[in-house]
Chains A and B, each alone.
Chain A
Amino acid sequence: MQLFVSQVLNGIGYGVVYGSVALALVLIFRVTGVLNFAQGEMALFSTYVSWKLTTTGMPVALAIALSMVIAFIGGALIERVFIRPVEGRSPLNVVIVTLGMFLAINSLTQLVFGTDPQQMPSPFPSGSIELFSSGGESIEVSKSTIGLIVVLLVECAALWFLLQRTRLGLRLRAVASNPDSARLVGINSGAMLMLGWGLAAALGALAGSLVASKQTAFDASLMQIILVYAFAAAALGGFESLIGAVVAGLIVGVAYTLTIQYIDALDGIELVMPLGLILAVLLVKPNGLFGRRTVERV
Protein backbone atom coordinates (compact mmCIF):
# COMPACT_ATOMS: atom_id res chain seq x y z
CA MET A 1 0.00 0.00 0.00
CA GLN A 2 2.71 2.39 0.99
CA LEU A 3 4.61 1.57 -2.18
CA PHE A 4 1.50 2.17 -4.27
CA VAL A 5 0.76 5.55 -2.68
CA SER A 6 4.32 6.73 -2.96
CA GLN A 7 4.42 5.67 -6.62
CA VAL A 8 1.22 7.62 -7.23
CA LEU A 9 2.74 10.70 -5.57
CA ASN A 10 5.87 10.16 -7.62
CA GLY A 11 3.71 9.98 -10.72
CA ILE A 12 2.02 13.24 -9.81
CA GLY A 13 5.48 14.76 -9.61
CA TYR A 14 6.13 13.71 -13.21
CA GLY A 15 2.57 14.50 -14.19
CA VAL A 16 2.80 18.18 -13.29
CA VAL A 17 5.82 18.44 -15.58
CA TYR A 18 4.01 16.81 -18.49
CA GLY A 19 0.97 18.91 -17.72
CA SER A 20 2.89 22.18 -17.77
CA VAL A 21 4.51 21.44 -21.14
CA ALA A 22 1.14 20.23 -22.44
CA LEU A 23 -0.34 23.55 -21.31
CA ALA A 24 2.09 25.42 -23.57
CA LEU A 25 1.24 23.10 -26.48
CA VAL A 26 -2.47 23.61 -25.93
CA LEU A 27 -2.06 27.37 -25.68
CA ILE A 28 -0.21 27.64 -28.99
CA PHE A 29 -2.69 25.26 -30.60
CA ARG A 30 -5.69 27.23 -29.38
CA VAL A 31 -4.28 30.59 -30.34
CA THR A 32 -2.61 29.73 -33.64
CA GLY A 33 -3.93 26.31 -34.65
CA VAL A 34 -0.38 25.01 -34.91
CA LEU A 35 1.13 21.92 -33.31
CA ASN A 36 4.51 23.20 -32.22
CA PHE A 37 6.98 20.34 -32.28
CA ALA A 38 9.75 22.75 -31.31
CA GLN A 39 8.01 23.62 -28.03
CA GLY A 40 10.26 21.31 -26.01
CA GLU A 41 13.47 22.59 -27.56
CA MET A 42 12.43 26.22 -27.14
CA ALA A 43 11.91 25.37 -23.47
CA LEU A 44 15.31 23.67 -23.40
CA PHE A 45 17.05 26.81 -24.65
CA SER A 46 15.20 28.90 -22.07
CA THR A 47 16.15 26.44 -19.35
CA TYR A 48 19.80 26.99 -20.20
CA VAL A 49 19.18 30.73 -20.08
CA SER A 50 17.68 30.35 -16.58
CA TRP A 51 20.60 28.20 -15.52
CA LYS A 52 23.14 30.66 -16.94
CA LEU A 53 21.48 33.50 -15.06
CA THR A 54 21.60 31.59 -11.76
CA THR A 55 25.33 31.06 -12.23
CA THR A 56 25.73 34.83 -11.95
CA GLY A 57 24.34 34.60 -8.43
CA MET A 58 20.86 35.78 -9.33
CA PRO A 59 18.06 34.34 -7.16
CA VAL A 60 16.53 31.31 -8.87
CA ALA A 61 12.96 32.64 -9.05
CA LEU A 62 14.17 35.92 -10.57
CA ALA A 63 16.35 34.05 -13.06
CA ILE A 64 13.37 31.99 -14.21
CA ALA A 65 11.18 35.08 -14.46
CA LEU A 66 13.79 36.89 -16.54
CA SER A 67 14.22 33.82 -18.73
CA MET A 68 10.45 33.80 -19.28
CA VAL A 69 10.57 37.41 -20.47
CA ILE A 70 13.40 36.58 -22.87
CA ALA A 71 11.48 33.49 -24.05
CA PHE A 72 8.39 35.63 -24.65
CA ILE A 73 10.34 37.93 -26.95
CA GLY A 74 12.07 34.99 -28.62
CA GLY A 75 8.80 33.15 -29.19
CA ALA A 76 7.18 36.23 -30.72
CA LEU A 77 10.19 36.71 -33.02
CA ILE A 78 10.13 33.05 -34.08
CA GLU A 79 6.50 33.47 -35.12
CA ARG A 80 7.26 36.60 -37.08
CA VAL A 81 10.41 35.37 -38.80
CA PHE A 82 9.94 31.62 -39.30
CA ILE A 83 6.24 30.82 -39.02
CA ARG A 84 4.56 33.85 -40.66
CA PRO A 85 6.04 33.28 -44.15
CA VAL A 86 4.60 29.74 -44.34
CA GLU A 87 1.34 30.46 -42.59
CA GLY A 88 -1.99 30.43 -44.40
CA ARG A 89 -0.89 27.79 -46.85
CA SER A 90 -0.90 24.10 -46.02
CA PRO A 91 -0.75 23.33 -42.28
CA LEU A 92 1.85 20.72 -43.23
CA ASN A 93 4.30 23.51 -44.07
CA VAL A 94 4.09 24.89 -40.55
CA VAL A 95 4.52 21.41 -39.08
CA ILE A 96 7.67 20.89 -41.15
CA VAL A 97 9.05 24.26 -40.07
CA THR A 98 8.47 23.45 -36.39
CA LEU A 99 10.15 20.06 -36.90
CA GLY A 100 13.11 21.85 -38.48
CA MET A 101 13.25 24.24 -35.55
CA PHE A 102 13.20 21.24 -33.21
CA LEU A 103 16.55 20.14 -34.65
CA ALA A 104 17.95 23.62 -35.14
CA ILE A 105 17.22 24.90 -31.63
CA ASN A 106 18.59 21.73 -30.06
CA SER A 107 21.84 22.12 -31.99
CA LEU A 108 21.97 25.84 -31.27
CA THR A 109 21.57 25.14 -27.56
CA GLN A 110 24.50 22.74 -27.57
CA LEU A 111 26.55 25.20 -29.60
CA VAL A 112 25.87 28.08 -27.21
CA PHE A 113 25.86 26.33 -23.85
CA GLY A 114 28.02 23.27 -24.49
CA THR A 115 27.17 19.60 -24.06
CA ASP A 116 28.16 19.08 -20.41
CA PRO A 117 25.38 18.19 -17.98
CA GLN A 118 24.48 21.15 -15.77
CA GLN A 119 22.68 21.56 -12.47
CA MET A 120 19.65 23.81 -12.27
CA PRO A 121 18.97 24.96 -8.70
CA SER A 122 15.40 24.66 -7.46
CA PRO A 123 13.29 27.72 -6.62
CA PHE A 124 11.43 25.63 -4.05
CA PRO A 125 12.60 24.75 -0.52
CA SER A 126 14.15 21.32 -0.21
CA GLY A 127 12.87 18.53 1.98
CA SER A 128 9.50 16.92 2.14
CA ILE A 129 6.30 16.94 4.11
CA GLU A 130 4.96 13.85 5.85
CA LEU A 131 1.41 13.18 4.75
CA PHE A 132 0.73 10.50 7.33
CA SER A 133 2.48 7.77 9.22
CA SER A 134 1.27 4.66 10.96
CA GLY A 135 3.09 1.70 12.41
CA GLY A 136 6.49 2.85 11.26
CA GLU A 137 5.30 3.41 7.69
CA SER A 138 5.19 6.99 6.48
CA ILE A 139 4.28 8.62 3.23
CA GLU A 140 6.03 11.81 2.23
CA VAL A 141 5.68 14.27 -0.58
CA SER A 142 8.51 16.57 -1.53
CA LYS A 143 8.08 20.32 -1.23
CA SER A 144 9.22 20.78 -4.80
CA THR A 145 6.36 18.57 -6.04
CA ILE A 146 3.90 20.66 -4.02
CA GLY A 147 5.53 23.79 -5.43
CA LEU A 148 5.15 22.48 -8.98
CA ILE A 149 1.49 21.67 -8.41
CA VAL A 150 0.83 25.17 -7.08
CA VAL A 151 2.66 26.79 -10.01
CA LEU A 152 0.73 24.65 -12.48
CA LEU A 153 -2.63 25.48 -10.93
CA VAL A 154 -1.86 29.21 -10.88
CA GLU A 155 -0.67 29.02 -14.51
CA CYS A 156 -3.83 27.22 -15.52
CA ALA A 157 -6.11 29.69 -13.74
CA ALA A 158 -4.25 32.69 -15.18
CA LEU A 159 -4.49 31.33 -18.72
CA TRP A 160 -8.15 30.49 -18.34
CA PHE A 161 -8.79 34.02 -17.10
CA LEU A 162 -6.83 35.55 -19.96
CA LEU A 163 -8.56 33.52 -22.67
CA GLN A 164 -12.11 33.41 -21.34
CA ARG A 165 -12.51 36.62 -19.41
CA THR A 166 -10.52 39.38 -21.11
CA ARG A 167 -10.99 41.26 -24.38
CA LEU A 168 -7.45 40.37 -25.36
CA GLY A 169 -8.24 36.68 -24.82
CA LEU A 170 -11.34 36.96 -26.97
CA ARG A 171 -9.23 38.40 -29.77
CA LEU A 172 -6.68 35.61 -29.40
CA ARG A 173 -9.46 33.03 -29.69
CA ALA A 174 -10.99 34.87 -32.64
CA VAL A 175 -7.74 34.75 -34.61
CA ALA A 176 -7.44 31.03 -33.92
CA SER A 177 -11.04 30.45 -34.95
CA ASN A 178 -11.12 32.43 -38.19
CA PRO A 179 -8.06 34.56 -39.04
CA ASP A 180 -9.58 36.31 -42.07
CA SER A 181 -12.77 37.17 -40.29
CA ALA A 182 -10.76 38.39 -37.29
CA ARG A 183 -8.97 40.90 -39.52
CA LEU A 184 -12.27 42.05 -40.99
CA VAL A 185 -13.58 42.98 -37.54
CA GLY A 186 -10.41 44.99 -36.93
CA ILE A 187 -8.12 42.60 -35.07
CA ASN A 188 -4.42 42.77 -35.82
CA SER A 189 -3.97 39.04 -36.45
CA GLY A 190 -0.22 39.24 -36.75
CA ALA A 191 0.16 40.80 -33.33
CA MET A 192 -2.12 38.18 -31.78
CA LEU A 193 -0.16 35.32 -33.33
CA MET A 194 3.11 36.78 -32.02
CA LEU A 195 1.53 37.18 -28.61
CA GLY A 196 0.35 33.55 -28.62
CA TRP A 197 3.79 32.23 -29.52
CA GLY A 198 5.41 34.51 -26.96
CA LEU A 199 3.12 33.35 -24.19
CA ALA A 200 3.62 29.69 -25.04
CA ALA A 201 7.40 30.16 -25.13
CA ALA A 202 7.29 31.83 -21.72
CA LEU A 203 5.25 28.95 -20.29
CA GLY A 204 7.73 26.53 -21.83
CA ALA A 205 10.61 28.40 -20.18
CA LEU A 206 8.89 28.04 -16.82
CA ALA A 207 8.14 24.35 -17.35
CA GLY A 208 11.65 23.56 -18.59
CA SER A 209 13.39 25.37 -15.75
CA LEU A 210 11.23 23.63 -13.15
CA VAL A 211 11.74 20.22 -14.77
CA ALA A 212 15.49 20.71 -14.81
CA SER A 213 15.49 21.79 -11.16
CA LYS A 214 13.73 18.53 -10.23
CA GLN A 215 16.54 16.51 -11.70
CA THR A 216 20.06 16.18 -10.39
CA ALA A 217 21.42 17.29 -13.77
CA PHE A 218 20.19 18.16 -17.23
CA ASP A 219 21.57 18.30 -20.74
CA ALA A 220 20.30 18.93 -24.27
CA SER A 221 18.11 15.81 -24.20
CA LEU A 222 16.09 17.19 -21.27
CA MET A 223 12.83 17.85 -23.09
CA GLN A 224 12.77 15.12 -25.72
CA ILE A 225 11.00 12.34 -23.84
CA ILE A 226 9.01 14.92 -21.89
CA LEU A 227 7.64 16.33 -25.15
CA VAL A 228 6.31 12.90 -26.13
CA TYR A 229 4.54 12.57 -22.78
CA ALA A 230 3.30 16.15 -23.03
CA PHE A 231 1.85 15.48 -26.47
CA ALA A 232 0.21 12.39 -24.98
CA ALA A 233 -1.26 14.56 -22.23
CA ALA A 234 -2.43 17.24 -24.66
CA ALA A 235 -4.10 14.67 -26.92
CA LEU A 236 -5.64 12.91 -23.96
CA GLY A 237 -7.02 16.19 -22.65
CA GLY A 238 -8.51 17.10 -25.99
CA PHE A 239 -5.91 19.61 -27.28
CA GLU A 240 -8.27 22.50 -26.65
CA SER A 241 -8.77 22.31 -22.94
CA LEU A 242 -6.35 23.87 -20.46
CA ILE A 243 -7.66 21.92 -17.50
CA GLY A 244 -7.74 18.85 -19.73
CA ALA A 245 -4.02 19.20 -20.38
CA VAL A 246 -3.26 19.39 -16.67
CA VAL A 247 -5.49 16.49 -15.63
CA ALA A 248 -4.26 14.36 -18.52
CA GLY A 249 -0.67 15.26 -17.61
CA LEU A 250 -1.27 13.88 -14.14
CA ILE A 251 -2.91 10.74 -15.52
CA VAL A 252 0.02 10.13 -17.86
CA GLY A 253 2.52 10.75 -15.04
CA VAL A 254 0.83 8.35 -12.64
CA ALA A 255 0.33 5.74 -15.35
CA TYR A 256 4.04 6.05 -16.13
CA THR A 257 5.27 5.35 -12.59
CA LEU A 258 2.73 2.59 -12.02
CA THR A 259 3.75 0.93 -15.29
CA ILE A 260 7.37 0.93 -14.21
CA GLN A 261 6.48 -0.44 -10.80
CA TYR A 262 3.94 -3.08 -11.65
CA ILE A 263 4.14 -4.11 -15.30
CA ASP A 264 7.39 -5.99 -15.75
CA ALA A 265 6.53 -6.88 -19.30
CA LEU A 266 6.98 -3.24 -20.33
CA ASP A 267 10.33 -2.91 -18.59
CA GLY A 268 12.51 -0.66 -20.72
CA ILE A 269 9.75 0.22 -23.17
CA GLU A 270 7.58 2.32 -20.86
CA LEU A 271 7.12 4.76 -23.72
CA VAL A 272 4.41 2.53 -25.22
CA MET A 273 2.27 3.34 -22.19
CA PRO A 274 1.37 6.97 -23.02
CA LEU A 275 0.92 6.08 -26.67
CA GLY A 276 -1.33 3.14 -25.76
CA LEU A 277 -3.27 5.48 -23.51
CA ILE A 278 -3.76 8.01 -26.32
CA LEU A 279 -4.92 5.26 -28.63
CA ALA A 280 -7.38 3.89 -26.11
CA VAL A 281 -8.88 7.28 -25.30
CA LEU A 282 -9.10 8.46 -28.88
CA LEU A 283 -10.85 5.23 -29.90
CA VAL A 284 -13.54 5.84 -27.32
CA LYS A 285 -13.61 9.64 -27.26
CA PRO A 286 -12.12 11.13 -30.44
CA ASN A 287 -12.12 14.63 -28.96
CA GLY A 288 -10.16 13.63 -25.87
CA LEU A 289 -11.32 13.59 -22.29
CA PHE A 290 -12.11 17.30 -22.14
CA GLY A 291 -12.42 18.20 -25.80
CA ARG A 292 -15.48 19.93 -27.14
CA ARG A 293 -17.11 18.94 -30.33
CA THR A 294 -17.18 21.77 -32.79
CA VAL A 295 -20.33 21.62 -34.78
CA GLU A 296 -20.96 23.54 -37.93
CA ARG A 297 -24.21 23.69 -39.76
CA VAL A 298 -24.17 25.28 -43.15
Chain B
Amino acid sequence: MTALLEMRGVSGGYGPVQVLRGVDLTVEEGHVAVVLGANGAGKTTTLRAISGMIRCGGEILFGGQPLQGRRPEAVARRGIAHVPQGRGTFIDLSVEDNLRLGATGRRDNGVGADLAHWYDVFPSLGSRRHQQAGSMSGGEQQMLALARAMMARPRLLLLDEPSLGLAPLVTRELFSRLGELNREEGLTILVVEQNANLALDIGHWGYVLETGRIVVQGSAETLQGDEAVRRAYLGF
Protein backbone atom coordinates (compact mmCIF):
# COMPACT_ATOMS: atom_id res chain seq x y z
CA MET B 1 0.00 0.00 0.00
CA THR B 2 1.26 3.40 -0.91
CA ALA B 3 -0.09 6.65 0.43
CA LEU B 4 -1.62 8.82 -2.27
CA LEU B 5 -2.29 11.73 0.05
CA GLU B 6 -0.50 12.57 3.27
CA MET B 7 -1.22 15.47 5.59
CA ARG B 8 1.29 16.05 8.36
CA GLY B 9 0.59 18.58 11.08
CA VAL B 10 -1.54 20.73 8.82
CA SER B 11 -2.80 23.90 10.46
CA GLY B 12 -4.63 26.88 9.09
CA GLY B 13 -7.93 28.69 8.86
CA TYR B 14 -9.53 31.89 7.75
CA GLY B 15 -7.67 35.06 8.63
CA PRO B 16 -7.12 35.13 12.38
CA VAL B 17 -9.45 32.17 12.95
CA GLN B 18 -7.47 29.00 13.37
CA VAL B 19 -9.57 25.99 12.33
CA LEU B 20 -7.04 23.21 11.75
CA ARG B 21 -4.59 22.58 14.59
CA GLY B 22 -2.24 19.97 13.26
CA VAL B 23 -4.18 17.48 11.18
CA ASP B 24 -2.41 14.19 10.38
CA LEU B 25 -4.21 12.12 7.81
CA THR B 26 -3.29 9.56 5.17
CA VAL B 27 -5.29 8.29 2.22
CA GLU B 28 -4.00 5.05 0.71
CA GLU B 29 -4.15 4.55 -3.02
CA GLY B 30 -7.39 2.77 -3.94
CA HIS B 31 -8.99 3.36 -0.54
CA VAL B 32 -12.02 5.28 0.65
CA ALA B 33 -11.11 7.42 3.64
CA VAL B 34 -13.89 8.96 5.71
CA VAL B 35 -13.58 12.07 7.84
CA LEU B 36 -16.25 12.36 10.51
CA GLY B 37 -16.91 15.01 13.05
CA ALA B 38 -19.37 17.56 14.36
CA ASN B 39 -20.16 20.87 12.70
CA GLY B 40 -17.24 23.27 13.01
CA ALA B 41 -14.71 20.51 13.65
CA GLY B 42 -12.79 21.52 10.49
CA LYS B 43 -13.92 18.87 8.02
CA THR B 44 -14.62 21.26 5.15
CA THR B 45 -11.51 23.25 5.98
CA THR B 46 -9.41 20.09 5.73
CA LEU B 47 -10.60 19.59 2.15
CA ARG B 48 -10.11 23.27 1.35
CA ALA B 49 -6.54 23.05 2.62
CA ILE B 50 -5.81 20.15 0.26
CA SER B 51 -7.31 22.08 -2.69
CA GLY B 52 -5.27 25.19 -1.97
CA MET B 53 -8.30 27.32 -1.15
CA ILE B 54 -6.82 28.37 2.16
CA ARG B 55 -3.25 28.91 3.22
CA CYS B 56 -1.95 26.41 5.69
CA GLY B 57 1.11 25.29 7.56
CA GLY B 58 2.46 21.78 7.88
CA GLU B 59 2.92 19.42 5.00
CA ILE B 60 0.55 18.07 2.35
CA LEU B 61 1.97 15.48 -0.05
CA PHE B 62 0.11 14.16 -3.08
CA GLY B 63 1.83 11.22 -4.75
CA GLY B 64 4.95 12.26 -2.84
CA GLN B 65 4.88 15.82 -4.22
CA PRO B 66 4.17 18.81 -1.97
CA LEU B 67 0.85 20.56 -2.64
CA GLN B 68 1.01 23.64 -0.44
CA GLY B 69 1.27 27.04 -2.02
CA ARG B 70 -0.34 25.79 -5.19
CA ARG B 71 -3.48 27.51 -6.35
CA PRO B 72 -6.75 25.55 -6.58
CA GLU B 73 -6.63 25.36 -10.38
CA ALA B 74 -3.10 23.92 -10.22
CA VAL B 75 -4.13 21.35 -7.59
CA ALA B 76 -7.10 20.35 -9.78
CA ARG B 77 -4.84 19.84 -12.76
CA ARG B 78 -2.65 17.46 -10.76
CA GLY B 79 -5.57 15.06 -10.54
CA ILE B 80 -7.59 16.06 -7.48
CA ALA B 81 -11.30 16.55 -8.13
CA HIS B 82 -13.03 18.41 -5.32
CA VAL B 83 -16.82 18.45 -5.09
CA PRO B 84 -17.44 21.21 -2.57
CA GLN B 85 -20.31 21.50 -0.14
CA GLY B 86 -23.38 22.57 -2.08
CA ARG B 87 -22.02 20.53 -5.01
CA GLY B 88 -20.45 23.42 -6.93
CA THR B 89 -22.92 23.11 -9.76
CA PHE B 90 -22.77 25.72 -12.52
CA ILE B 91 -26.52 26.19 -12.14
CA ASP B 92 -27.16 28.43 -15.14
CA LEU B 93 -25.16 26.26 -17.54
CA SER B 94 -26.46 23.14 -19.20
CA VAL B 95 -25.83 19.67 -17.82
CA GLU B 96 -23.48 18.92 -20.70
CA ASP B 97 -21.53 22.16 -20.17
CA ASN B 98 -21.13 21.20 -16.51
CA LEU B 99 -19.68 17.84 -17.50
CA ARG B 100 -17.38 19.33 -20.13
CA LEU B 101 -16.06 21.76 -17.52
CA GLY B 102 -15.10 18.78 -15.40
CA ALA B 103 -12.65 17.82 -18.14
CA THR B 104 -11.03 21.28 -18.23
CA GLY B 105 -7.56 20.07 -17.29
CA ARG B 106 -7.48 17.22 -19.78
CA ARG B 107 -5.59 17.33 -23.05
CA ASP B 108 -6.57 13.94 -24.47
CA ASN B 109 -9.26 13.13 -27.02
CA GLY B 110 -11.33 10.90 -24.78
CA VAL B 111 -13.68 13.59 -23.47
CA GLY B 112 -16.51 12.73 -25.88
CA ALA B 113 -16.28 9.04 -25.05
CA ASP B 114 -16.27 9.80 -21.32
CA LEU B 115 -19.36 11.98 -21.73
CA ALA B 116 -21.15 9.07 -23.37
CA HIS B 117 -19.93 6.77 -20.60
CA TRP B 118 -21.31 8.94 -17.78
CA TYR B 119 -24.60 9.47 -19.60
CA ASP B 120 -24.74 5.70 -19.70
CA VAL B 121 -24.02 5.38 -15.99
CA PHE B 122 -26.47 8.16 -15.07
CA PRO B 123 -29.27 8.00 -17.67
CA SER B 124 -31.16 10.87 -16.02
CA LEU B 125 -28.24 13.17 -16.92
CA GLY B 126 -28.29 12.03 -20.54
CA SER B 127 -31.94 12.82 -21.00
CA ARG B 128 -31.39 16.28 -19.53
CA ARG B 129 -28.11 17.15 -21.15
CA HIS B 130 -29.39 20.44 -22.60
CA GLN B 131 -31.34 21.43 -19.52
CA GLN B 132 -30.13 24.09 -17.07
CA ALA B 133 -28.30 22.21 -14.34
CA GLY B 134 -29.96 24.25 -11.58
CA SER B 135 -33.39 23.00 -12.59
CA MET B 136 -32.63 19.44 -11.58
CA SER B 137 -33.48 17.90 -8.24
CA GLY B 138 -30.90 17.78 -5.45
CA GLY B 139 -30.22 14.10 -6.05
CA GLU B 140 -29.70 14.59 -9.77
CA GLN B 141 -27.42 17.53 -9.09
CA GLN B 142 -25.34 15.38 -6.76
CA MET B 143 -25.03 12.74 -9.49
CA LEU B 144 -24.08 15.53 -11.90
CA ALA B 145 -21.42 16.77 -9.46
CA LEU B 146 -20.04 13.25 -9.17
CA ALA B 147 -20.01 12.76 -12.95
CA ARG B 148 -18.43 16.20 -13.39
CA ALA B 149 -15.66 15.25 -10.98
CA MET B 150 -15.15 11.93 -12.78
CA MET B 151 -14.85 13.70 -16.13
CA ALA B 152 -11.47 14.91 -14.88
CA ARG B 153 -10.34 11.27 -14.54
CA PRO B 154 -9.06 12.17 -11.08
CA ARG B 155 -6.53 10.22 -9.06
CA LEU B 156 -8.24 11.44 -5.90
CA LEU B 157 -11.85 12.48 -5.36
CA LEU B 158 -12.66 14.86 -2.51
CA LEU B 159 -16.31 14.91 -1.49
CA ASP B 160 -17.71 17.40 1.00
CA GLU B 161 -20.95 16.30 2.68
CA PRO B 162 -22.44 14.69 -0.42
CA SER B 163 -25.58 13.66 1.48
CA LEU B 164 -26.47 17.22 2.50
CA GLY B 165 -30.06 18.00 1.59
CA LEU B 166 -30.71 14.63 0.00
CA ALA B 167 -33.50 12.21 0.85
CA PRO B 168 -32.26 9.09 2.70
CA LEU B 169 -33.00 6.85 -0.26
CA VAL B 170 -31.05 9.09 -2.63
CA THR B 171 -28.17 9.24 -0.17
CA ARG B 172 -28.04 5.46 -0.05
CA GLU B 173 -28.03 5.27 -3.85
CA LEU B 174 -25.22 7.84 -3.98
CA PHE B 175 -23.02 5.92 -1.55
CA SER B 176 -23.58 2.67 -3.37
CA ARG B 177 -22.42 4.43 -6.55
CA LEU B 178 -19.34 5.70 -4.75
CA GLY B 179 -18.62 2.20 -3.48
CA GLU B 180 -18.88 0.85 -7.05
CA LEU B 181 -16.53 3.52 -8.39
CA ASN B 182 -14.01 2.62 -5.73
CA ARG B 183 -14.24 -1.14 -6.22
CA GLU B 184 -14.57 -1.27 -9.99
CA GLU B 185 -12.40 1.63 -11.12
CA GLY B 186 -10.02 1.73 -8.18
CA LEU B 187 -10.92 5.35 -7.48
CA THR B 188 -9.37 6.81 -4.34
CA ILE B 189 -11.86 8.85 -2.34
CA LEU B 190 -11.63 11.16 0.66
CA VAL B 191 -15.14 11.90 1.85
CA VAL B 192 -16.29 14.20 4.61
CA GLU B 193 -19.69 13.13 5.91
CA GLN B 194 -22.17 13.58 8.73
CA ASN B 195 -23.90 10.36 7.85
CA ALA B 196 -21.23 8.26 9.52
CA ASN B 197 -22.74 4.83 9.08
CA LEU B 198 -23.32 5.03 5.35
CA ALA B 199 -19.89 6.49 4.72
CA LEU B 200 -18.11 3.90 6.86
CA ASP B 201 -20.00 1.14 5.04
CA ILE B 202 -18.01 1.90 1.87
CA GLY B 203 -14.95 3.22 3.68
CA HIS B 204 -11.67 1.49 4.53
CA TRP B 205 -10.32 3.91 7.08
CA GLY B 206 -12.03 6.51 9.21
CA TYR B 207 -10.90 9.63 11.03
CA VAL B 208 -12.78 11.57 13.65
CA LEU B 209 -11.99 15.26 13.66
CA GLU B 210 -12.60 17.40 16.72
CA THR B 211 -11.73 21.10 17.01
CA GLY B 212 -9.16 20.90 14.27
CA ARG B 213 -7.39 17.70 15.33
CA ILE B 214 -7.75 14.04 14.52
CA VAL B 215 -8.80 12.50 17.83
CA VAL B 216 -9.63 8.95 16.76
CA GLN B 217 -8.74 6.89 13.74
CA GLY B 218 -9.07 3.31 12.71
CA SER B 219 -10.38 0.91 10.13
CA ALA B 220 -14.00 1.45 9.18
CA GLU B 221 -15.10 -1.76 10.92
CA THR B 222 -13.28 -0.85 14.12
CA LEU B 223 -14.91 2.57 14.26
CA GLN B 224 -18.34 1.17 13.54
CA GLY B 225 -17.87 -1.52 16.18
CA ASP B 226 -16.40 0.67 18.91
CA GLU B 227 -19.16 1.51 21.33
CA ALA B 228 -17.35 4.46 22.93
CA VAL B 229 -16.41 6.07 19.65
CA ARG B 230 -19.91 5.58 18.32
CA ARG B 231 -21.56 7.24 21.27
CA ALA B 232 -19.05 10.06 21.65
CA TYR B 233 -18.52 11.07 18.05
CA LEU B 234 -20.78 9.33 15.61
CA GLY B 235 -24.14 9.64 17.26
CA PHE B 236 -25.64 6.28 16.46
Contacts and interface: CB of A to CB of B under 8 A. Distances in A.
Interface in B19-74: 51, 53, 71-73
A214 interface: no
Interface in A37-86: none
B208 interface: no
Contact of A180 (B88, B105, B152): B88
Interface string A170-205: 110110011011111111110000000000000000
B93 A188 contact: no
A297 interface: yes
A185 B136 contact: no
B100 interface: yes
A166 B24 CA distance: 43
A297 B101 CA distance: 21
Nearest to B140: A297
A238 to B, nearest CB: 13
B173 interface: no
B229 to A, nearest CB: 32
A171 B88 contact: no
A100 B48 CA distance: 35
Interface in B113-142: 132, 134-138, 141
B76 A186 contact: yes
A159 to B, nearest CB: 17
A298 interface: yes
A181 B90 CA distance: 8
Nearest to B51: A184
Interface string A287-298: 000001011111
A184 B82 contact: yes
Interface residues of A, number: 23
Contacts of B93: 170, 173-174, 177
A183 B136 contact: no
Contacts of A185: 76, 81, 101-102, 104-105, 148, 152
B224 interface: no
Q: Which among A185, A189, A296 has the greatest number of chain B C-beta atoms within 10 A?
A: A185
Given A174-B93, A178-B90, A183-B71, A297 B138 contact: yes
A181 B73 contact: no
B89 A181 contact: yes
Given A294-B132, A297-B136, A297-B138, A186 B92 contact: no
B73 A189 contact: yes
Contacts of A182: 90, 101
Contacts of A183: 53, 71-73, 76
Nearest to A295: B135
B128 to A, nearest CB: 12
B73 A187 contact: yes
B53 A180 contact: yes
B152 A296 contact: no
A213 B97 CA distance: 41
Interface in A251-298: 292, 294-298
Contact of A294 (B76, B81, B91): B91
Interface string B169-198: 000000000000000000000000000000
A204 B35 CA distance: 51
B184 to A, nearest CB: 24
Contact of A170 (B73, B76, B97, B152): B97
Contact of A184 (B72, B100, B132, B138): B72
A170 B82 CA distance: 19
Given A167-B100, A170-B97, A171-B104, 7 more contacts: A174-B93, A180-B88, A182-B101, A185-B81, A185-B101, A294-B91, A297-B137
Interface of A: 167, 170-171, 173-174, 177-178, 180-189, 292, 294-298
6 contacts: A173-B90, A181-B90, A183-B53, A187-B73, A187-B104, A297-B134
